[in-house]
Structure 1
């Protein structure tokens, strides 16, 4: 109880601290000299008034503008209010520049580091009012590897909102748009320009020379001449501007000859492989369900390029896989693809179960060499479960020498005598079974017909849990075990596997019980059993009688 109270107290303190924090974020951390960046400072403490102290910013930045935004969001049952201050900054120096912490009452934000790159473009005093620039982050890449195309549209005049850009179409490559367009300002030769920045991730599919095509930008520039009057109902007065980006050649290298031919080709900047268990595999018993999640994440690859991970095919474990989850994230370096595969593992025997190691080969495009990411092999210690019937472990039969075979005749004789007595007892039981009983016993429990009706109802209702209970109750009144019935009738074995998969995986709600009922209905009778002696255990009536 004391530990629970401490945990609740720490959680409340953490929530209170997060609610009273002063969060600071920027729209990007890498920019060129002369460009502006937007700093967003947010507070969820409604008792604070005023605005953050901007004095620490003046030494390293020019503050171009500030604005305040009040927001009210509905988080669950309680409405949450927050205040944002959006500050437009322009660094005064290039290199690594740190946005210092900002203070508001007793709250303080965390510092943020910016990388301001020196602008290497040649200065031109005769720049057009609207021009476009395109650049690649690298001039040579491997086939199916990522290169990032950055497109910047500069305009020193105001533009109407009818601007358009031709799509980037490349049949020899796969193109992914990296996030939404960014807008900021840049000072060029003393003239302030608005900048529209777009980024694309390009994955060439063929080696050789690849030409990045030009893109055309069309917009209407606002006419600010004195003779022009604004008419909201008339046509827009202005000049239509159309500019094109330059074509950029890209060298695409073929797959290295040293890369293993059987392994999937994965050229990435970085790649990681991790696993997670729910619950943790310690103290696992027979019949327990463990969920294993394998996560493959690659920087510089799309999620569709990541291959399936090896399945956990181990004796002693039943595997019920889920659909893989593919996600893509965008960062400053481009695309980060991830593939998560989840599977439910159910142990059907006790003892030590060894899981093999998982290894993924990939090509490091930063160091230009082969890399291996792997998960080490591990062992699961499975203990017995008194509520679950375990599967016996098959052991190797020791070799018996010819001399030992000569000493086995006493055992063979005793085994023969035991077989004869067992056969004699069976014959006596069979004869006694055919004799009428002196007093008929009154049935105290449900009849086999009622149990069969309950099983039919739960199967056709697609209720996996209720079907399992009804199936166990019906099987207890049968002359053989459920495992024996499944062993001699393949459709019943397949239907039971489907039921177990529904019970131990997240897809249980989609289970269809019709196949199980048809398998029970079509179950053939046991050989050498007189079907006329016991009408309750005889062949079932047809499912759809005419």
Structure 2
């Protein structure tokens, strides 16, 4: 009896040991570089419908992907089933890490110890911001200027350097983000590619540029950026065709990081005395009128288009100008137009305003000089942008403003208070005469007609005045564009074309982008020629001919029926050029 109990106990212990050995885990490498992925395989040698509890991995690992495989076999009448869970893991930090025991149903796996080497420490001999020095893929940043002022444009250059071939279909690089501080980041142009040799090793370089506008002084921190991609598998080196089919074995998933870095933003210069802090490479004021100023008539509207152009500031950073209105004139302003021209070397912000002036009488009028203080970031000095004073000569009867003489002012007769009817009988016994009711009715009808006629005339005059102002805006925009093209003034043509799109075609903001979406091939070609003349490397010395642009504008027939709509809807996304 005792012998049987011992035998049963031994068999039971063997079954328990076998059950403990039916779940296992393994990795493809126990020592790797921080940023490399490792493969964890969990195997259950018996059929189980219970998935492993992977929550224990979340503290030290990121699960990039996972899949489940099942295999069923029947050998000599004995069936078996194996389940595998295959995970791709990214370690969250370097150093010694442990893949903890993982529970699968009632069973657990053994822990696995890993060594994660940190190869992304900044190179002490390199001045590039946030640079990582992993041998195969590098990420680095460069800023210009090195000591920026608050609100000054900072050119932030991000570079990805690879000494191995990358699978372009499985590569991504995150955009730089502000981790601490306040500012705006905007990408400039499209990525560029070139090569560089570092310590005898050739790297393929992909470069992206961004405009960073800081909104407060102090420390601004750019967080780490992350590259996710696939590089050729090392086993491909043993394949004679590995050079051509480097990713035939699936490749190796890698992740690389740039280090966060700080930018010290200096405050506004204490010697600056302007009303608005405007740090820029250059700021200019430009103005144009839609008709000659010596041929105006009283009551006739004239349109002034004035623009601030700032190299190194966004349009939204530019202030509204204060324009003094001469005595005897009325002025009406339209909504400002904001336009940012994005180039590879930064942003040019343009704020455009339209003013309609109407003289109440003839005479000579003067708009004083208009000025705007700004800070030159090249010379570190305060400068002044200005527009010269403008003189009007208006024909018509002079406007005379008379001051009444107190001695000649007629004194009003004293007004007596009306007597309320007394409750006592009046002592006047003369008969009281009252107006017939029908006469009261006739008087009320006549008064109502007079009031209605006055209201109609007033509304008609107001409508005509608004229509005249609108026509003046449209005529002024077209005349401004024609004048700029005739003088081959590329900056003026850019402002005029934008204003023409807004005032005549009712194109919503941003006008330049949305006009291109509906432009004819001739107008697109003329716009491309204007952009090249404005922003190419030799733009300052390059001449521009405005005849093609004005020809394309005059031939443009959109919308076909102007009366059908005045505010057409543009595509949700700008259309690509064809």
- Using the size of structure 2 for normalisation, the TM-score is 0.46
- Using the size of structure 1 for normalisation, the TM-score is 0.49
